[in-house]
Structure 1
């Protein structure tokens, strides 16, 4: 009933958004004088904000058409190089990259948003690397006949993608996938898989949520797992290809994130309204672009979601040495040569300071020279992987880490 009620509400709001958009266009039509006087601009701006806030959204495009390297601009090629039921592996490259450019697999979160949330991450790293990214599917669009998808499958997908890309690949895990990416590195390290990552960078990841718990961690800890199963897991309606699949809907995840900082989101929309009244279209467009991405949400399978809540946030299975993959306990001591970089934001309100850094202490057989911690001052969760501080301060640290350890590995193998 939960999903069906949401679909009914979404349909009604879509109609209201369409009418509001029509009203805003009429009030801003140069042929109508009402748009130039009195409350005309105010009413038009209010209708436009309402239409934008309530309009339905699908999966965004990456839309990275070109990158600038030095003084040259190069067109970017985006392609699907591997297809799996629950994810596509995308590759981004351009003609300005040298033949020996590093290959970087960016592991996008499966946490209610699409991989395009990392558009800025891809664009920046594409300046120096061939970039691959996990483009996770919206679970409601995956037919139930494709079977389940859980944490074991997530780890298997990462291993499969790394084997497809080949040896000497670097991995960047942003937020939630830090845990399965870390686990995958250990699994591949134990078997001495030649395609195990050269470096693994974890940014804002919940490796050990007992360190500096945030409100997100508190929500997961304050309720038993059965509460999540009975209150936030629902079936996909018949109108979607994944009809009948049990999912954690993206709209609930979005509602939770919006509620965490409701005041800030309200002020952002009020600011957008004022910019539009004042005729500052550029500032209003920037706010719209952010929320176009932020409100574009997708569902994740109930199996994956519940296992993440249980093992990452409630039982802390990985830092306790109790995390299991395909029936076998994961040995983090098997990570012996994958260089680890942990990046945290000083103002991160989702993954507190110390949660990602814990990964460095959990790899006892990895030399200290292959471990690095970087705290980004005055940076929140989103700013770790997007924005000017990511581009100018954090990305260079990552590039230097990749370059240093790629060189060391070549020297060792020589």
Structure 2
């Protein structure tokens, strides 16, 4: 909990911090990468740095955490912290790196705020930083311990034992440990990190949801080739270079958006490649013979771009109370129960005690979340997974998410 004195200072200075946070984060990354170029080369996503989404995510998380401390001190922003901790653990972040971040972040704050950064203001925001950093360090250490690995030691060699072309832009890579070590457990909905060495020597990391874990030994990921400007460095490299018998450096599974074990109705809503964690959850529900009402909602451009389209039909047939609703923006052939346009929950029965899981582009998730709230589904029962930096679906971020 933030001290009373610091709370007053943070409350008074939050507007100026919020007003200048973009300048602060820009100066922070410039300083840190100048002093530690290996962090940009081997840890941070260069694409997200180039398009600014990582900076906006950092700014948003700091502002949300500070707002929670002063406006809702009785709430713990667990979901905000858990989401960041899982992402950090999947990258192998260690406690020592928080000291590096602190040094360059506060140098950036001093540069941007100038004389406005008094000793009292610096001390208050220093308290905010270490409250957040301390909570994350503790969570990440627990995640490493639960996974049975030393802090930050997440990487193991996994061999590609098969590859399936799901669509023209989506390929499934079937992975098996190359070191014959124990298989780390995973929960439906989690992801792994994949680290690859690119032609310029950079070792870039990306997260991919586990779409399947057949027989408990292999792990399958589906990778969509990111085209356009800029192109996805890692996804295109994987599509172009990785074949059966190649070896990849892969992390243990992490991710806080996992299928619950309740008996309540469940909604799985996805768009595009957001179907990967949902197909994993659906496969688990089918495998355990669930009797829960399961509603599957998916939106895509067309049947040609819809990865796991046949799997969706096969799995829902195995669940007695499953219903599937599919929308294509540009349908190109007949398929039962397909609708045209964007996902619209109107007319679909969604009980208030539904637990919902969302994954896809942020505008899609915002729309579905708003519709679910109108149905009376509490915000605390709506969970979402973001591919990339989490820019948030709602404000204030910590209130609806507090558990």
Q: Please report the TM-score for the alignment, with normalisation by the length of structure 2.
A: 0.28
Q: Please report the TM-score for the alignment, with normalisation by the length of structure 1.
A: 0.28
